[in-house]
Amino acid sequence: MGASVAYHLTRRGVTDVILFEREAQLGTGSTGRNAGGVRHQFSDEANVRLSIESIRAFERFGDEVGYPVDLHQDGYLFLLGTESSVEVFRENVARQRRLGVDVRWVSPSEAVTLAPGLNTEGITGATFCPHDGIADPSGVTSGFARAARAAGAMIARGVEVTGIEVESGRVIGLQTTAGAFSTRALVNAAGPYARHVARMAGVELPVDPFRRHIFIAQPPSTHVSSTVSEAPGEAQERSDWGNRAPHSRVMVIDFETTFYFHREGTGLLFGMADPDEEPTFDTTVQWDFLPKVVDVAVKRLPVLAEASVSHAWAGLYEVTPDANPIIGPAGVVDGLFLINGFSGHGFQHSPAAGRILADVILGVDPHFDLAPFRLDRFSSASRSVVEAGGERYFI
């Protein structure tokens, strides 16, 4: 998000931009730990519109930003196991089609054709969008950052923001481990740490970090008869999914369980949300969670029962109460802008969200209705007071 905003500001002629990154490299947090999925299939119209703009940007990234990225549009396949889910998706599909998205209903047998090896037992419906897919988070982040820096922006790596200066209700500067900086426009793009950064300015953000796991499975090994290139009588051990797993990078999501998988090189990437997970900044892999995932995984993709998990990692979702982002001015503190709480779909919406916020910062009409993403949507029923720096702010 920070790299995207910096890039879009420089495209509009604003080059006195500094992007602060606490770590030694960009994209080593949630950006570098996600599955890279990009999809049009959202239930909320505003999110669908973010996807339409963002995926078009990914398709043209090399030409427009100047750095090619890896994009595989093999589609997203949603599997539905209840009639109530089918009804919800009927409304979603109608909304998506109305916005020009090519999303289709497919039968269980067609789903198996799209994703060989799939067990469709219990599936009552499925949707597929061929323009969804998998993109490269690291490449996109570095592309935005390199283009912004080439246009004059500064990337300050290994620098942590330690305080925000607010005077008479306006941002006037910030403190960092590299010294103090004056500014009248500050963007909070701190991902799962957004709440902590906002509190430095006396603003309370309803954004919490939730751990999500990703596992990589390697195909089962099989012995085959010797070939002409092998010594007579010898057999070579080979690993292959055969026709028991997808050959493309189609993303398959079991809607009822949240289990998902897609091809990742020679392996299979898979994961599932843990309904018992509490907010945490801990990204340690909880290996005792793997059996719960496997119980679901082997029912939907049986070949995983024979596979081996080679490695795993965990990253953090930045989640709001309604699972939609906060984009725009903070409102209670002039000069503070927010681009937070994307709840698992931040990477894929970064091109559009960064463009929109750059326009908002410059007072340009973003041609996008930001009402669904306003911070004050969480305080319409009640108002709370945040104490910070001796001042009181109502949100």
What average pLDDT does this structure show over 52-59? 98
Percent of the chain exceeding pLDDT 70 equals: 91
Burial class, 203, CB count within 10 angstroms (exposed 0-12 / middle 13-18 / buried 19+): buried
3-state secondary structure of 190: coil
pLDDT in tens, 270-315: 999 998 999 999 999 999 999 999 999 999 999 999 999 999 999 9
Among the listed residues 140, 110, 145, the one whose alpha carbon sits nearest the alpha carbon of residue 125: 110
From the CB of residue 234, how many other CB atoms can be counted at a distance below 10 Å? 9
Q: Where in the chain is the domain with CATH 3.30.9.10?
A: 76-130+208-319
Q: How confident is the model at residue 28 (pLDDT cuts 50, 70, 90)?
A: confident
- Say whether pLDDT at 64 is over 90: yes
Among the listed residues 100, 131, 97, 126, the one whose alpha carbon sits nearest the alpha carbon of residue 113: 126
- Say whether pLDDT at 393 is over 50: no
- Say whether pLDDT at 382 is over 90: no
**Main-chain dihedrals φ then ψ at residue 386, nearest 5 degrees:** -110, 125
Burial class, 380, CB count within 10 angstroms (exposed 0-12 / middle 13-18 / buried 19+): exposed
Q: Where in the chain is the domain with CATH 3.50.50.60?
A: 1-73+133-206+321-395
Q: In angstroms, rounded to a whole number, what is the distance separating the alpha carbons of residues 315 and 285?
A: 9
Residue 384 confidence (pLDDT): 36
Q: How confident is the model at residue 380 (pLDDT cuts 50, 70, 90)?
A: low
- Say whether pLDDT at 230 is over 70: no
Question: Averaging pLDDT over each range in 171-180, 225-234, 235-244, which range is the top one?
Answer: 171-180
Evaluate whether 204 touches 320 at the Cβ level (below 8 Å): no
CATH match of 76-130+208-319 with 3.40.190.10: no
Percent of the chain exceeding pLDDT 90 equals: 87
From the CB of residue 43, how many other CB atoms can be counted at a distance below 10 Å? 13
- Say whether pLDDT at 351 is over 80: yes
The token duo for 348 is 């894929």
Instruction: Tell whether pTM > 0.85.
Output: yes
> Topology of 1-73+133-206+321-395 in CATH?
FAD/NAD(P)-binding domain (3.50.50)
Residue 342 confidence (pLDDT): 96
Evaluate whether 159 touches 177 at the Cβ level (below 8 Å): yes
Residue 27 confidence (pLDDT): 85
What average pLDDT does this structure show over 106-124? 97
Tell me what the pLDDT averaged over the chain comes to: 91
Among the listed residues 390, 351, 332, the one whose alpha carbon sits nearest the alpha carbon of residue 1: 351
